[in-house]
Chains A and B, each alone.
Chain A
Amino acid sequence: MADTPPAGTGAVRPHPLLELESVSRVYGEEIEVYALREVSLQIHPGEFMSIVGPSGSGKSTMLGLLGVLDLPTSGTIRVAGQDVSLLDDPTRSKLRGDSIGFVFQQFHLIPHLTAVGNVETALLYRDLRPKERRDRCRAALEELGLGARADHRPVQMSGGEQQRVALARAIVTEPLMILADEPTGALDSTNAAHVLEIFANLQSPERAVVMVTHDATVARRANRMISMRDGRIVGDEYRGEEPR
């Protein structure tokens, strides 16, 4: 993205990475429950965003939609300019794999695979030679200080280490957006601080980091905070660095 201006210049905003246009998500058929109601949101490269709200506010639904794991009942979601509702499953899956890296509260590592095996799942079905794939995964683990743990299984690792493996899995594809769901929810304060530190560093001019959390301290680490309540966005404030 050569046309991206440096942070803080306040010049031209790049195209949004992800765009929600009056998106609603309704569950149930006879009794309709609006989990998300007419939400519009743009996420730009370089943003470190947090989405906060009490439970039932629509955070999880939002996360599912942002991660293209779910489709809206009405409205449009565009990832890199493409309307995801118009794509078939293989194309949508590829788009998800290419542009979004997920980090979950419960890590969701596959128990029978080693750290490097777990990271490798993100690089499968991409026509890579096994050696190249493995090298990239080891490099990602190395980057997160887990080089020595590459051949360990999840049960042999601490929570903090497991979450870093999950992070390695999220970044190994070099996605445009990291989408995290309560990434520190299952960690003690030391590990949580460490993981948040890494998150802050993951942000780059080309990449957005989005964290869903109910923890206000965690949310305040981000420089844009979206507040949700009853399926609507009720607050959108920029903190620290001002919008570019």
Chain B
Amino acid sequence: MSDFDDLVGVAWSGLRARKIRTLLIMLGPIIGVAAMVSAVGLTESAKGALQQQLSQLGTNLVIAQAGGSFGSQTPTFPGDAVERVENVSTVESASATTNLSGVIALPIKGASTYYEAFPVPVRASDDQLPGVLGVPMVSGRWLNASDTRLHTLSVVLGEGIAKQYGYLPGESRTIDLSGTNFGVVGVLGAVPLDPELDNAAFVTQWAAQNVFHTNGQPNQLYIRTQPDATQATAAVIPTAINLGGPAQSSTQIPSDVLQAQAQANKTLQQVALLAGLLALTVGGIGIANVMSISVIQRSPEIGIRRAVGHSRSKIGAQFLLESLFVGVLGGLVGALLGIVVVYTVSAFSGWVVVIDYAQIPLWMGLALLVSITAGLYPSIKAARLEPLETLRLG
């Protein structure tokens, strides 16, 4: 049994002997840590659903839009824009779509007046689009190489338009695209980063060029970049596409908007953190106060311990260890309490719980630091106590 084990036993029994007092001085670290854990937890969890969605979508999607060019109504990119973009080293994958603005899609014969007034956008796309967007198919399949090679007249619907058309999964259905019937082969899932795609119908580039007689030059590029290089990549993409010519495109990072929405209320968080810190500090002063009084109350105990051979440093360590236990236990209970608060409030508010567990040891360490600092003065006082003065000899 080492001296340290003995010391731990002595300090622990000292705390246990005064349970109410121990609990009361523990309230400081408990409230402080609980406040800090719940402050961060609650402000983050309030935006938890958005943050969760964002982490699924990824923040590394860049959309490039062709800018206005002279002499053409619909601005376009060069036909090999995807290859050019993929030359940028930070680009992981890219896909192009072409707006077929002249094509009228009619899901039902006889509804032409309505659909001519409010046309469904039709886009030609390569076979990469769902992969780049990271969006799964709701049903069926995406356009693929066979469609191009076999010249099939296939169309994929966005999720929104599929609902509007009343399309059932697996249903054998044709849609009239400017007088040609196209067979529906699949439905693309919702695309939160570009909701326009939800209401579009997609055909192959082959169909765009050979059925609708367009030049097949894309208008939009969807680009996935390396996760930490999104901003930089977005900045160089116009140059990469136009190869040094005048920039005729603009880029945007659609997740930026979402990200701004998902940002926790930092001001609120800081105010609550400050309140927690204040609780911890006041709690520390409380510990110092109570421990100082305790040293006076327990001076006979200190005297007798000195008499039976405990050194000054052992007495000091005993009291310091008591405040250390208060800090450790208070921090632990406070962290648990904070987590419970976050889970409870989130459950009632329908939030997705976001707790940064890596931060919690930091708060607990802070509680420990405050407790030890608070215990320093009483410990030194206890160690300096003269046994003769405390034992009231006859």
Contacts and interface: CB of A to CB of B under 8 A. Distances in A.
Contacts of B6: 124-125
Given A97-B310, A181-B393, A64 B2 contact: no
Interface stretch (B143-151, B358-366, B384-392): B384-392
A124 B1 CA distance: 9
B313 A128 contact: no
A226 B56 CA distance: 90
A109 B301 CA distance: 8
A51 B7 CA distance: 36
Contact of B311 (A60, A94, A212): A94
Contacts of A129: 1
A125 B314 contact: yes
A117 B391 CA distance: 19
A109 B300 CA distance: 9
B308 A181 contact: no
Contacts of A28: none
Chain B contact residues, majority secondary structure: helix
A59 B393 CA distance: 9
Interface residues of B, number: 32
B393 A60 contact: yes
A181 B391 CA distance: 10
B1 A93 contact: no
B394 interface: yes
B381 interface: no
Interface string A161-190: 000000001000100000001100100000
Nearest to A91: B311
Contact of B309 (A59, A93, A127): A93
A112 B309 contact: no
Residue with the highest number of chain B CB atoms closer than 10 Å, among A93, A106, A113, A129 = A93
Given A112-B17, A127-B2, A129-B1, A64 B309 contact: no
A127 B306 CA distance: 18
Interface string A199-224: 00000000000001110000000000
Residue with the highest number of chain A CB atoms closer than 10 Å, among B300, B387, B391 = B391
A102 B308 contact: yes
B307 interface: yes
B304 A108 contact: yes
Interface string A92-127: 011011100010111011111100010001101101
B18 interface: yes
B393 A124 contact: no
Given A59-B394, A104-B391, A94 B309 contact: yes
A122 B306 CA distance: 10
A241 interface: no
A105 B1 CA distance: 32
Interface in B1-43: 1-3, 6-7, 10, 13-14, 16-18
Interface of B: 1-3, 6-7, 10, 13-14, 16-18, 300-301, 303-314, 386-388, 391-394
Given A93-B306, A102-B304, A104-B304, 7 more contacts: A70-B386, A121-B304, A124-B310, A125-B314, A169-B308, A173-B308, A214-B394
20 contacts: A60-B393, A69-B306, A69-B388, A70-B386, A70-B388, A90-B313, A94-B311, A96-B307, A102-B304, A105-B394, A112-B14, A112-B16, A112-B18, A117-B13, A121-B304, A124-B6, A124-B10, A127-B1, A169-B308, A181-B393
User: What are the 5 closest A-B residue pairs judged by CB atoms, nearest first?
Assistant: A97-B309, A112-B17, A182-B394, A93-B311, A60-B393
